[in-house]
Structure 1
Amino acid sequence: MKVIKLIALLSFVFVLSCSEDRDDSPQPDSPNLIIKFKFDATQERLGNLGEPVSVATGNAAQSPSINRMSANYIEFAPTATTALGTGEIIFEGDETTTGGAQAINFQNANFAGHDETFLTIPLSQVSSGNYEWVRVSLAYQEGTIDILSNGQDITGTLASFVGYKSYITSFNLNGSTIEVNGNQAQGFWAFEALGFTTQGQAPEGATTVPNPLFNSSPIPQGSCVVTGQFENGLTVTGDETENIVVTLSFSINNSFEWTEVTTDGKYEPEIGEQVVDMGLRGLIPSVSN
C-alpha cells in the first residue's frame, strides 16, 4: 500500500513539474505592414513631373478638406529605374468588366480618411529588400469645398473619381444617392450642397499625377499613379518582430482647380467656371513602428 501511495505521489509531482515548466503565455502576433493616409494642405504643390508649380494663369484653386480616399494599387520600388509593375506590389483593388472596358470596381473599394489605416497585411507577405520609392494609383477622393452660389458662400461635398476608369452603380454623397450604373472616365465628379446635386467631367488628361521618376520610370497616361520617395528608404528584413507603419502623406495644396470667369478666387459654377483639376499634388511616404 505504501509503495502504491509513493508512486501516486511521485506521479503527481511529475505532472505538476511539467505544468509549471510549460509556457502557456500567449505568443506575440506576427508583425504587419500598416498603410495609413494623411492629407496636408501645407505640403509642396507639385506638377506632373514632380516639380513645384503654381496655379495656372486664368485659374484659381483651393485646398479641399478630404473626408476619405481610395487607392487601387500600391507598389514599393527598389530604385528609380524600377519599371511600373516590376516592384513589390502590396495591394491591388478589385476591378471589373461589368461596364464594358476593364475598370476599378468602386462598389468594392477600400477607403480611409486622414490619419486612418487603409491597409494591413502580414509582413511575411512582403519580400525582403530595400525600397526607395512608393507608387500609389489613386481611385477616389471625397471632401468638402467652398463655392459661391447666388452671392452666398456655402460649403458642399465633392466626389472625385480620379482613377483611370471607374465602374459605379451608385454612391451616397452626403445623404444624396447618385445613380450612375456604368463606367466613368478619369475626372468624373459629383457635387452636393444643401440637398442639391450636380455632376460633371474634367477634361481628359487634366488630372495632375506627380511622378518625379518621369524620365526613368514613366507611367501610362491617365493611370493616376502618384510616386513618392522615402527620405531614408524602407527596409524589410523578414526578421521583424514589430509592425512597420508606412504613412502616405498626400499634398492637397490647392489641389482643386477651376477656370475663373470672375477673378475673385471663389469657385462659382453658376457663371460657367469649370473644374479643370482634382488630382493630388504630391506624395511623401514615411516609416515608423
Structure 2
Amino acid sequence: MKKFVVLFSLIVGAFAFFSCEDSDDVSEEPHLIVKFQFDPNQVRLNNLGQPATIPSGHAAQSPDFRKISAHYFELAPTAYTQLTEGTVLYHADETTQGGSVAIDFSKAVVVGEGEAFLRIPLSQVAQGNYEYVRVSLAYQEYNISIRNNGADYQGKLASFVGYNNYITTHSIGNNSFPVNGNRLQGYWAFALNDFPYATSGQAPAGATTVPNPIAATSPIPSGSCVVTGKFAQNLIINGNETRDVVITLSLSSNNSFEWQEVTSDGKYEPSIGENVVDMGLRGLIPTYVK
C-alpha cells in the first residue's frame, strides 16, 4: 500500500509539472492598450492647436485631475484623413432616452491616470502607418480651488465636455445630482470637500476649447470634443507584433479650468458671479511603446 501511495504521488507531481510547462508555453495575444496622463506643464493650446494665453478679463487654474472618460478613439494615417475615415477603435454607448442622441453616461468607462482605458487585440487593429490620434473626451473629474468671503476652499468638479450627455443621477462624494435628461457640452457640477455645499451650472455653448492642429485639412464638428494629437514618430502596425503596444495620451491641463472674473485676483469666486467659461483640455501629445 505504501509503494502505491508513493507511486501515485510521483505521477501526480509529474502531471502538475508538465501542466505548468504547457501553461507557460501559451502566450496571450498582444493588445493595443490606451492610457491617459495629465500634464499641467504641457503647452496650452487653442482650438487650432496654437499656443494660447488667458484672455483679458478671464482667469484660470490647472486642476488636479482624478478621472476621465472618452467617447471615441481613432487612429488617423495623415492630416488629410477625415474624421471617422481612419481606424476607429472605440465608440461609446449612446441613447435617445433623453430625446436627441447623447452619450449614455451610465455606461461610460471612467479611469484614472495611468489606468487602461482601452485594451484591444492587435489582430483587430487595421495594419497601417498612423500619424495622428483623435480622441473625443466626454467626462472629467478634478479638484479645484474656490474662494468665498476671503477664504479659499478645495472641492471636486465633474465636467461633462461630450457633445451631448444623457445623465440619470451622478454624484460627487456624498452629493447626488439628479438630472434625468440630456445636458449639452459644458454642464458641470461642484461640491466642497469638507463642507455641505454643492451646485451645478452650464458653460456657454461653443466655449469649450478642443485643440485640433489639422483643422485646415480635417475639421471636427462644432460642439464636439475630438482632441487631435500627432505622434513624434508614426505608429506602424504591421500585423507581426508579438508584444503589447501601449499608447499614452498626454493631455494638457495647463490652466484648463477658466472663468470670467468679477474681482481681478486670479481666484475663482462663484458667489460673486464669476462664471465658468471653458473646461476644455489644452492639447494632446500621444506617445507609444512597442
Tell me whether the two structures share a fold, i.e. TM-score over 0.5. yes
Matches within 5 A, 1:174-193: 174-193=173-192
**What residue in structure 1 maps to residue 114 of structure 2?**
115
Count of residue correspondences: 270
**What residue in structure 1 maps to residue 214 of structure 2?**
213
Matched, 1:30 2:32: no
**What residue in structure 1 maps to residue 65 of structure 2?**
66
**What residue in structure 1 maps to residue 262 of structure 2?**
261
Matched, 1:40 2:39: yes
**What residue in structure 1 maps to residue 93 of structure 2?**
94
**What residue in structure 1 maps to residue 12 of structure 2?**
none
Matched, 1:149 2:138: no
Identity %: 57
Which runs of no fewer than 5 residues in structure 1 stay unpaired? 1-19
**What residue in structure 1 maps to residue 80 of structure 2?**
81
Deviations 1:193-228 (A, max 9, x none): 123110100000000000001100000000110000
**What residue in structure 1 maps to residue 167 of structure 2?**
168
Q: Distance in 1 between matches of 2:167 and 2:110?
A: 15
Deviations 1:174-205 (A, max 9, x none): 22111100000100000001231101000000
- Name the stretch that deviates more: 107-116 or 222-231: 107-116
Deviation at 1:26, TM superposition (A): 3.0
Deviation at 1:113, TM superposition (A): 1.2
**What residue in structure 1 maps to residue 281 of structure 2?**
280
RMSD: 1.4
Q: Distance in 2 between matches of 1:231 and 1:116?
A: 22
Counterpart of 1:67 in structure 2: which amino acid? Answer: R
Q: Distance in 2 between matches of 1:98 and 1:26?
A: 49
Q: Distance in 1 between matches of 2:108 and 2:278?
A: 22
SS of 1:82 mapped into structure 2: coil
Deviation at 1:150, TM superposition (A): 2.0
Q: Distance in 2 between matches of 1:124 and 1:247?
A: 20
Q: TM-score, normalised by structure 1?
A: 0.91
Q: Distance in 2 between matches of 1:26 and 1:97?
A: 48
Deviations 1:64-100 (A, max 9, x none): 0111000000000000000000000011101000000
Q: Distance in 1 between matches of 2:68 and 2:188?
A: 14
Deviation at 1:172, TM superposition (A): 1.4
Q: Distance in 1 between matches of 2:226 and 2:196?
A: 33
SS of 2:235 mapped into structure 1: strand
**What residue in structure 2 maps to residue 236 of structure 1?**
237
SS of 1:270 mapped into structure 2: helix
Which runs of no fewer than 5 residues in structure 2 stay unpaired? 1-17
SS of 1:107 mapped into structure 2: helix
Deviation at 1:232, TM superposition (A): 0.4
SS of 1:127 mapped into structure 2: coil
Which consecutive segments of 4 or more residues in structure 1 shift more than 6 A? none
SS of 2:25 mapped into structure 1: coil
Q: Distance in 2 between matches of 1:29 and 1:114?
A: 25
Q: Distance in 2 between matches of 1:117 and 1:38?
A: 11
